């Protein structure tokens, strides 16, 4: 029996999907569990596997094309099945499920297919500039010049006719010869471009569309403000070196940050909140989103109940989720439910930056690189290891003093990391 495969709803916010790649073609044998296609959703590109066995009889959405959820994606059945009859049957059942229009006399005109045309590169031929000829003290073939000027020009090998005179009635004098720079040529003043103007147009992926929409909504809806603080990382560096000497232990500075953020949120619950029109929601649970760069943008896997996990456990989970995100294996539920977000660009050498809040969170922490700087310790100038972090806050839920107190607690934990073992 033939099976109609429709565009699946792969996340709770998905309304449309794009077929990134078909792994099978019409006529291929399909086994249960085979990967049919990569479907690009509003959150990630995910592999879509078949729940049926048979032959792939029909493909309804081509690579690169998008369609709403429940649109006809493919048909799997016996190679002798009548595809045309199956398509008619499917369209008939869809039409029956579609509610009648208020005015049955109105008939929708089918939309014409729009064919995108590649815009040719703009080419401009360089135009040679107009080169001004030198002013000459010439009227009817006679050159007016002083004897000294003529002699000096002859000694320099300069044609007196090429010199513009500055004396009375255009008379060429000694200074005119001495200051003569020669005639500018077109070759000296003409710029010839070695290339033409051109551009490349890249179609926006579903992920880029969603990133643009959500970050735009966050930036222009939530009133952002920023608080920055510098951290003394000497103790954190020593702590990490000692911890990583233990068997089966491997923690990063990002793991320290995530753990310290989670513990600090226990004491500053208002930072662990979200805004709604009727109320402020204070989250008692602590789920930390960790921003991860992928090929086409950014995803935010979530470490749930991060305050209850060890730094080693956090490190293992972050690494697993990041690898899944980059290989397009991550599931929507693994990117949902964050109450606070951490964005770390320190591994790229970025010392200081600000981030846009990951709605509906009330705050996001931007973490820079550890750098060696001149610092004062015990009234003595020394070389210290410093890391700068910036907290972006939604002023509707987190006031300046509230955000500042959170950063003070976070700073105390990072600069005394042994406290994180006691939590």
Give a three-class secondary structure readout of the chain: CCEEEECCCCCCCCCEEEEEEECCCCCCEECCCCEEEEEECCCCEEEEECCCCEEEEEECCCCCCEEECCCEEEEEECCCCCHHHHHHHHHHHHHHHCCCCCCCCCCCCCCCCCCCCCCCCCCCCCCCCCCCCCCCCECCCCECECHHHHHHHHHHCCCHHHCCCCCHHHCECHHHHHCCCCCCCHHHHCCCCCCCCCCCCCCCCHHHHHHHHHHHHHHHHCCEEEEEEEEECHHHHHHHHHHCCCCCCCCCHHHHHHHHHHHHHHHCHHHCEEECCCCEEECCCCCEEECEEECCEEECCEECCHHHCCHHHHHHHHHHHHHHHHCCCCCHHHHCCCCEEEEECHHHCCCCCCCCCCCCCCEEEEEEEEEEEEEEECCEEEEEEEEEEEEEEECCCCCHHHHHHHHHHHHHHHHCHHHHHHC
List 224, 285, 395, 412, catalytic entry: 395
Catalytic: 268?
no
Positions marked catalytic: 395
């Amino acid at each position: 029996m033939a099976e109609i495969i429709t565009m699946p709803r792969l996340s709770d916010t998905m309304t449309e999907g794009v077929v990134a790649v078909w792994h099978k073609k019409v006529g291929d044998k399909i086994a249960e569990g085979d990967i049919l296609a990569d479907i690009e959703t509003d959150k990630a590109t995910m592999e879509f596997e078949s729940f049926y066995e048979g032959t792939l009889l029909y493909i309804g959405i081509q690579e690169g094309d998008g369609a709403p959820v429940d649109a006809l994606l493919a048909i799997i059945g016996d190679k002798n099945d009548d595809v045309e009859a199956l398509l008619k049957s499917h369209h008939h059942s869809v039409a029956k499920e579609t509610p009648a229009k208020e005015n049955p006399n109105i008939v929708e005109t089918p939309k014409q297919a729009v064919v995108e045309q590649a815009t040719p590169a703009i080419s401009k031929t360089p135009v040679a500039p107009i080169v001004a000829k030198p002013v000459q003290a010439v009227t009817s073939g006679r050159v007016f010049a002083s004897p000294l000027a003529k002699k000096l020009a002859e000694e320099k090998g300069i044609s007196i006719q090429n010199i513009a005179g500055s004396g009375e009635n255009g008379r060429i004098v000694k200074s005119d010869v001495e200051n003569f720079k020669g005639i500018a040529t077109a070759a000296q003043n003409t710029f010839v471009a070695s290339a033409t103007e051109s551009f490349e147009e890249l179609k926006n992926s579903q992920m880029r569309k969603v990133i643009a929409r959500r970050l735009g909504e966050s930036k222009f809806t939530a009133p952002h403000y920023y608080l920055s603080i510098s951290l003394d990382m000497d103790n954190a560096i020593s702590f990490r070196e000692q911890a990583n000497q233990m068997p089966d232990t491997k923690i990063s500075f990002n793991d320290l940050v995530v753990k310290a953020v989670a513990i600090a949120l226990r004491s500053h619950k208002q930072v662990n909140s979200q805004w709604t029109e009727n109320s402020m929601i204070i989250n008692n649970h602590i789920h930390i989103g960790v921003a991860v760069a992928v090929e086409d943008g950014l995803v935010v896997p979530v470490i749930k109940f991060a305050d209850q996990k060890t730094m080693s456990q956090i490190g293992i989970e972050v690494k697993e989720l990041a690898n899944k995100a980059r290989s397009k294996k991550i599931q929507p539920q693994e990117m949902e439910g964050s109450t606070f977000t951490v964005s770390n660009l320190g591994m790229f050498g970025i010392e200081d930056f600000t981030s846009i809040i990951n709605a509906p969170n009330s705050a996001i922490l931007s973490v820079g690189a550890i750098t060696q700087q001149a610092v004062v310790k015990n009234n003595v100038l020394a070389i210290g290891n410093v890391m700068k972090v910036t907290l972006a806050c939604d002023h509707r839920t987190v006031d300046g003093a509230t955000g500042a107190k959170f950063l003070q607690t976070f700073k105390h934990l990072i600069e005394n990391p042994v406290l994180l073992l006691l939590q």
